[in-house]
A = this chain, B = another copy of it.
């Protein structure tokens, strides 16, 4: 079985992005945070560190876990209007009562480097130019990097979130795959996922996808990043079981994750160079 590793691709994207950044004024990314969740805070700090590595300034705008939705919206409106900020993200989770989908509408689509606003999602669905959610874009980039063909093939996406599953379904359709979206209410999940030439798991449930869910030789992409007891990460795919059956599998960590962060930086550099 092939391991679809993300490291080499992520490095290539970062190198290219660093060159783009060096050629112009310094891009700035602002990340709005309103959580005490340690894993999210760690992730945001890792983005800021990666940004610094390619010459992008990153501001973490921490509103604290008690922020009200109006405060978050005001912050997004202010940063959208700030000409010194080129990329703008809203980190989840948010405090109870705050809807990420609704609030992301306050992000200027030209700064929406993680494709979170409904307008970005709609432009993607309509086949118009838009920033694509970095995780969904990373899945496509990883498949392309490893030469996985999509046209005419069966793709099954497990998970229907507006940040991964749905945009990914549109991206796979654009590439002429026949696309099925499954979710928690799907009956006999294994019988559906076993029809996939390309199977993407994006649910957030460790070990959900076992050997019985995978057709022999299928390409399996694991978007899950579930914390393990020992401070590590594990995916939605039972890698040990699936390895014996799949044709290819992305590792967790080291598969989709590093490419996602690299694409977020590329998007920020591109946002800084929009006419």
A residues with a Cβ closer than 8 A to B are 101-102, 105, 117-128, 151-154, 160, 162, 166, 169-170, 173, 176, 178-183, 185-187, 192
Q: How many copies does the complex hold?
A: 2
Most buried by B among A102, A125, A182: A125
Please, how many angstroms separate the alpha-carbon atoms of A121 and B130 in the complex?
Answer: 14
Most buried by B among A118, A152, A173: A118
Q: Is the CB of B186 within 8 A of A152?
A: yes
Q: Is the CB of A183 within 8 A of B178?
A: yes
The 13 listed contacts between A and B (C-beta, < 8 Å) are A101-B126, A105-B128, A118-B126, A121-B121, A122-B124, A152-B185, A153-B187, A160-B173, A166-B170, A173-B183, A178-B183, A178-B186, A180-B181
Please, how many angstroms separate the alpha-carbon atoms of A9 and B181 in the complex?
Answer: 30
The answer to whether residues A180 and B183 also contact, given A125-B125, A162-B126, A170-B166 and a CB cut-off of 8 A, is: no
Most buried by B among A105, A154, A173, A178: A178
Ranked 9 nearest A-B pairs via Cβ: A122-B122, A118-B122, A121-B122, A176-B185, A180-B180, A101-B126, A178-B186, A126-B162, A118-B123
Kindly provide the distance from the CB of A210 to the nearest chain B CB, expressed in whole angstroms. 19
Kindly provide the distance from the CB of A108 to the nearest chain B CB, expressed in whole angstroms. 14
Q: Is the CB of A117 within 8 A of B122?
A: yes
**Who on chain B is nearest to A184 by CB?**
B176
Contacts of A179 in B (CB 8 A): 180-181
**Who on chain B is nearest to A185 by CB?**
B176
Q: Is the CB of B181 within 8 A of A173?
A: yes
Contacts of A123 in B (CB 8 A): 118, 122
Please, how many angstroms separate the alpha-carbon atoms of A187 and B197 in the complex?
Answer: 12
Kindly provide the distance from the CB of A58 to the nearest chain B CB, expressed in whole angstroms. 26
Kindly provide the distance from the CB of A155 to the nearest chain B CB, expressed in whole angstroms. 10
Q: Is the CB of B170 within 8 A of A192?
A: no
Please, how many angstroms separate the alpha-carbon atoms of A178 and B187 in the complex?
Answer: 8
Q: Is the CB of A128 within 8 A of B102?
A: yes
**Who on chain B is nearest to A173 by CB?**
B160
